[in-house]
C-alpha cells in the first residue's frame, strides 16, 4: 500500500518536514513517526487476528474483499444489464366481474326514509 506516493512526493514531504521542524529536531520526529507506524501495524495485525478468532479461521478474507463497494463500476453494471436478454412480462389480466343475474329494480319503500 503505497497510497500513491512516489519517490518525488516522499522527497518533497521530507524537504518540507526539514524546513518546518528543523535539522536538529528532525531525527526525533522521524523516530516518533517510525514508532507510530509500528504501533499502527501491530494494531492492524491484532484486529485481524481477533477477527479470525471470533469468526473462525475458515473465514476467507478474499470473500469479504469482494463485498467492497469501491470495486463496483456503474458503467460495467449497466453494460452487463443491457447485454442480458429482456425478461418477458405478461400483461396483467383484467379482473373478472360478476354479472348480475337479478336485474329487477328495488322497490321504493316510503317508510324507510
| Alpha carbon of residue 19 to chain centroid | 41
Cα–Cα dist 36/44, whole Å: 12
Q: What pLDDT is attached to residue 21? A: 86
H-assigned helices in the chain: 7-21, 26-55, 61-65, 74-83
pLDDT digits (tens, 9 = 90+) for 45-90: 999 889 888 877 777 777 777 777 777 888 888 888 888 887 788 8
Higher pLDDT, 100 or 103: 103
Which residue is associated with the grid cell 366481474? 97
Domain ranges for the chain: 7-86
Amino acid at each position: 500500500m503505497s497510497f500513491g506516493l512516489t519517490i518525488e512526493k516522499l522527497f518533497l514531504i521530507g524537504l518540507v518536514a526539514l524546513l518546518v521542524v528543523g535539522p536538529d529536531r528532525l531525527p526525533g520526529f522521524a523516530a516518533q513517526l517510525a514508532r507510530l507506524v509500528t504501533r499502527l501495524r501491530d494494531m492492524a495485525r491484532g484486529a485481524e487476528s481477533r477477527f479470525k478468532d471470533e469468526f473462525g479461521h475458515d473465514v476467507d478474507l478474499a470473500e469479504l474483499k469482494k463485498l467492497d463497494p469501491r470495486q463496483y463500476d456503474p458503467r460495467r453494471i449497466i453494460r452487463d444489464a443491457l447485454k442480458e436478454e429482456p425478461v418477458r412480462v405478461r400483461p396483467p389480466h383484467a379482473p373478472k366481474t360478476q354479472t348480475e343475474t337479478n336485474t329487477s329494480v328495488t322497490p321504493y319503500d316510503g317508510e324507510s326514509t
